[in-house]
Structure 1
Amino acid sequence: MSRPPGGGQDVMDLIDFVPATATLRDLVASVTDDQLGAPTPCPDYTVGDLVEHVGGLAIAFAGAARKQPVPGAEEGGSGDASRLEPGWRTRIDTDLADLAAAWSVPAAYEGETQAGPFLMPAPEAAAVALDEVVVHGWDLATALGRPFVVREEDVAACLAFAEPFSTPEAVAMRAPAFGPVVPVPDGAPALTRLLGLLGRSAGASG
């Protein structure tokens, strides 16, 4: 599902998507066929649904970086495991690598672009894309029982995107992309705070 606009992050420099997408690529490649039906922290998604969504968002946000319309991108990745074709691991790996390459070009951050059904400033679309990659990386790692490693600067960028629409005044902006904010302890790690803002409970993994 595509995220609503409103993060308000002013991206002054290019975002390096390579580390976050590399983590997600590794996780996708590790999914076995018998794990596709397992639950994830996304209540409506099995592992297979989540993986299919990741593949769709990779294509959609690479298109957003290049200001190129992508057929079906308005759905932001349907999240339907039944659409996973033979060879999906290789396809999604390639598309995540392409996502990182697309946002490595300075022109990607100029002007406005279409991200899912939303028209938004291109830097904000980049922030949405990074948020998708990081948070769904955590979702998938958690579902698979694997450790999740993310750079501090990537979490900080996602927090800057998520915080403006995680206040009580912004509740209407959250649905249906995010669940209710989950309170976290004072002094919680940045990743735990990010996940809480996005309606997830990191437990001991944050």
Structure 2
Amino acid sequence: MTSMPDLAPAAQRMADLLAGVRDYQLTAPTPCEGTSLGALIDHVNGLTQAFTWAAAKNFPDGASPPPSADAAGLPPDWRTRIPEQLDALAAAWRSPDAWRGMTKAGGIDLPGEQAGHVAMNELVVHGWDIARASGQPYDAGKDEIESCLAFVAPAVEESGGQGVEGLFGPAVDVPDNAPAVDRLIALTGRDPSWAAPDG
């Protein structure tokens, strides 16, 4: 096991970003093509549960499909529920056992260590998506970005930069001196200069 990063800072940042989302912004576009902000938050709601189960290696019946992304599925109490789930997610990945052996997420079997890096990537990259869509500032820590790259870089390299179906679009070129978070975002097929349309 090479590393066991702390997901708590990324989870807390996600909770803070969600607190800054206004109700009228739920229909706004996001850097995820064809996905509204409300739909993306629904996806975050699902993934926080899925990756908490992955850490504990304890899965409720019928918990195998990938998290949805549908604004209509967003629970009415999402503003309190998702932050609580984010706390539980971070706590679950503090256990060394979470990073050992095999687990599953979204119906896919994978090593615990890889699942932990995927969970971090979901928090960091979708945090950036939510920040951009809602007009909030965003940055991520060096350790968080390195954890994300442990998952993203090999996947992108294997695809020849052409994207990974269901995960990322084709990588976007950025300058060599671009901030680390921009380089990560570009690898996932997003334009780091993306901004929400005015109004």
Instruction: Calculate the TM-score normalised by the size of structure 1.
Output: 0.88
Which runs of structure 2 are paired with 1:79-94 in the superposition (5 Å)? 79-94=69-84
Counterpart CA distance in 2 for 1:46 and 1:204 is 14
Counterpart CA distance in 1 for 2:61 and 2:41 is 19
Counterpart CA distance in 2 for 1:121 and 1:97 is 22
Select 2:149's aligned residue among 135, 144, 159. 159
Which runs of structure 2 are paired with 1:56-67 in the superposition (5 Å)? 56-67=46-57
1:185 corresponds in structure 2 to: 175
Report if the CA contact (8 A) 1:23-1:149 is conserved. Answer: no
1:32-90 alpha-carbon deviations (Å, 9 max, x no partner) = 21111000000121010010100100000000000011455433320111012221110
Query: Which consecutive residues of structure 2, in runs of 5 or more, have no partner in the other structure?
Result: none
Kindly, what percent of the aligned residue pairs are identical?
44
Q: Cα offset for 1:201?
A: 0.9
In the alignment, residue 61 of structure 1 is paired with which amino acid? F
1:108 corresponds in structure 2 to: 98
In the alignment, residue 187 of structure 2 is paired with which amino acid? L
Counterpart CA distance in 2 for 1:149 and 1:173 is 24
Q: How many residues are paired up?
A: 195
Select 1:47's aligned residue among 8, 14, 37. 37
Q: Cα offset for 1:118?
A: 1.0
Query: Which consecutive residues of structure 1, in runs of 5 or more, have no partner in the other structure?
Result: 1-10
Instruction: Calculate the TM-score normalised by the size of structure 2.
Output: 0.91
Counterpart CA distance in 2 for 1:56 and 1:162 is 21
Report if the CA contact (8 A) 1:60-1:70 is conserved. Answer: no
More displaced 10-residue stretch of structure 1: 178-187 or 162-171: 162-171
| Counterpart secondary structure, 1:119 | strand
User: Are 1:201 and 2:182 matched, yes or no?
Assistant: no
In the alignment, residue 178 of structure 1 is paired with which amino acid? F
Report if the CA contact (8 A) 1:53-1:76 is conserved. Answer: no
Counterpart CA distance in 2 for 1:30 and 1:173 is 31
Q: Cα offset for 1:172?
A: 7.6
2:109 corresponds in structure 1 to: 119
Q: 1:164 to 1:21 in 2, by over 3 A?
A: same
In the alignment, residue 69 of structure 1 is paired with which amino acid? F
Counterpart CA distance in 2 for 1:172 and 1:186 is 19
In the alignment, residue 137 of structure 1 is paired with which amino acid? G
Report if the CA contact (8 A) 1:40-1:140 is conserved. Answer: yes
Report if the CA contact (8 A) 2:139-2:181 is conserved. Answer: no
2:119 corresponds in structure 1 to: 129
Q: 1:183 to 1:36 in 2, by over 3 A?
A: same
In the alignment, residue 48 of structure 2 is paired with which amino acid? A
Counterpart CA distance in 1 for 2:162 and 2:175 is 25
CA RMSD across the alignment: 1.9
More displaced 10-residue stretch of structure 1: 72-81 or 94-103: 72-81
